[in-house]
A and B are shown apart, each in its own frame.
Chain A
Amino acid sequence: MTATSPLREVSAQDTLFESILDLVRRTSTQLPDDVVRAVTGARQNEVEGSNADVALNVIGCNIGLARDSSLPLCQDTGTILFYVHTPASYDQLAFEEVATEAVREATKKGYLRQNSVDSVTGKNTGDNTGPGSPVFHFHQWREPHVEVKLMLKGGGCENMNAQYSLPHPDFGGRDLKGVENAILDCVLQAQGQGCGPGILGVCIGGDRGTGYSFAKEQLLRLLDDINPDPVLAELEERVVEKANQSGIGPMGFGGKTTLLACKIGKLNRLPASFFVSIAYMCWAYRRRGAQLDLGGNVTEWLY
């Protein structure tokens, strides 16, 4: 970091820089425990020696290799999404600058691929920065500490996201039946292209923009949590059950494991609109987090 600030601040910024760099490294190389449990546990449902079994075996090996060698689990280190909660007085601009610098360093070290491309000229910035990269979602809260969650979402699964506007001639009206049919159509269209077994984050309602954003935020939930809304909890369960009877299977090879989980949230909508927004996440579901004190030190790792 440049030493333009008073000494005390520089030190806190250096600490924050190291904490974020470590968070990026961990996120890119170590799959969270809940995901490891789900994806390795799924293998017992597949026929031994089938393509699905082979795929899940390779996935299991890959998780171990990436962790042990501290190298990226997947070469597509994806969109870099920071979800940050800070106390009201906290300098979010400074956080953004330091985290961006940490992303540059993580790219140099090979924890992140050079993934930020100018959409008109096609030029790669080479360091993962530029308009829209990395992405920061800041929220204030009344806790005394900072919480930062990081999600790396690959392009293969991002391309499988879908948004439906109900009513729809193929999927039905503005009710949970229509929602369920729309979600399962997304699973059908994705097949193996989103690197399944997948995990869905879904938003019912909202506008088109916030719907997609909120759908992605559902992916911050733990895989084995239970939705506090019993209606949504039931829908989540039904979607997973049906998807796993579709026969799409891991990588779209055929098999019993198509989805590992489905997490559904809802936002209010306009009387005129009814969107179902779906964020498809690959098995290489990279999300990690940390609690930080105001000096930038990690006080607890999340997930």
Chain B
Amino acid sequence: MALVKLTTPIDEQTIRSLHVGDTVNITGRFYTGRDAVHHRIHTGTKPPVDLEGQIIYHCGPVMVKEGDQWVCKAAGPTTSSREEPYEWEVMRDYKIRGVIGKGGMGEKTLAACKEYGAVYMHAIGGAAQVCAASIKRVDGVDWMDLGSPEAIWHLWVEDFMAIVTMDAHGESLHKNVFEESKARLEAMKV
């Protein structure tokens, strides 16, 4: 389990060198994208930004406009499993190298991570202030018609910490913990 510093955009080779359990510290650009963004891309609209080598952050931040500038007040991860029907497609079509969220994702995403070269990174759910402390600037926003929590926010982050829980080698911490806990609870059934 290594501590790896990443800078976006990230190349495929670097992403394929990561393993489940690695801690990553990321500096660079994050694009937020959650339910409505994934749905819109899925139904055929091209993303308004070049996603190649980038990270999509499953996050609906609290944003407040102070003067002309958007300020991020809170920005932890949202549950990623809702993007399970769509994420593999975004990996294939737009060459993102990773997503950050919480709770993990399923088989389709795990397979896409392996095939197209991407990882799933887990931030700490609910820790909106720790996450926001790493967000240094809000550089822009697209698709604001989806509402602020659902828009694509362009964030500049420094040393954003996350844990790789699904890698490009077909390993998933979530799959392992589910199987193990299922067996243990089954044994404790009354």
Contact = CB atoms under 8 A, between A and B. Distances in A.
A76 B102 contact: no
Contacts of B127: 58-59, 61-62, 74
Contact of A123 (B81, B147, B181, B188): B147
A62 B124 contact: yes
B181 A191 contact: yes
Given A248-B177, A248-B181, A117 B188 contact: no
Interface string B151-178: 0000000000101010000000110111
A109 B178 CA distance: 40
A14 to B, nearest CB: 24
Given A58-B130, A159-B79, A193-B103, A251 B125 contact: yes
Nearest to B187: A245
B74 A75 contact: yes
Nearest to B182: A188
Given A62-B128, A124-B148, A193-B79, A254 B173 contact: yes
B102 A251 contact: yes
- Chain B: number of interface residues, binned into ranges: 35 or more
B59 interface: yes
Contact of A114 (B149, B161, B173, B182): B149
A79 interface: no
A296 interface: no
Given A71-B74, A75-B62, A181-B189, A247 B126 contact: no
B21 interface: yes
A174 B62 CA distance: 44
Nearest to B165: A253
A177 B189 CA distance: 8
Contacts of A195: 102, 125-126
B60 interface: yes
Interface in B22-79: 23, 36, 59-62, 64, 73-76, 78-79
Contact of A252 (B23, B150, B177): B177
Given A110-B62, A191-B178, A242-B188, A71 B73 contact: yes
B181 A74 contact: no
A201 interface: no
B117 interface: no
Summarize A's interface: helix, strand, loop or mixed.
Answer: loop
Contacts of A193: 79, 81, 102-104
B128 A66 contact: yes
Contact of A192 (B23, B75, B103, B161): B103
Interface residues of A, number: 58
A62 B147 contact: no
B103 A156 contact: yes
A289 interface: no
A73 B75 CA distance: 10
Contact of B76 (A61, A75, A253): A75
Interface in A28-67: 51, 54-55, 58-59, 61-62, 65-66
A273 interface: no
Nearest to B80: A193
28 contacts: A54-B23, A58-B124, A62-B126, A65-B129, A71-B128, A71-B129, A72-B73, A73-B74, A73-B128, A75-B73, A75-B74, A113-B60, A124-B146, A124-B149, A155-B79, A156-B102, A172-B190, A177-B190, A187-B185, A188-B178, A193-B79, A193-B103, A242-B185, A251-B125, A252-B103, A252-B104, A252-B174, A253-B173
Given A74-B128, A248-B177, A252-B174, 18 more contacts: A58-B127, A62-B129, A71-B73, A75-B75, A76-B76, A77-B62, A110-B64, A113-B60, A113-B149, A155-B79, A156-B103, A159-B79, A191-B177, A192-B125, A193-B103, A195-B125, A195-B126, A246-B181
Give the 7 A-B CB pairs with smallest separation, nearest first.
A124-B147, A193-B103, A65-B129, A195-B125, A284-B126, A75-B74, A62-B127
Interface of A: 51, 54-55, 58-59, 61-62, 65-66, 69, 71-77, 109-110, 112-115, 117, 122-124, 126, 154-156, 159, 172, 177, 180-181, 184-185, 187-188, 191-195, 242, 245-249, 251-254, 282-284
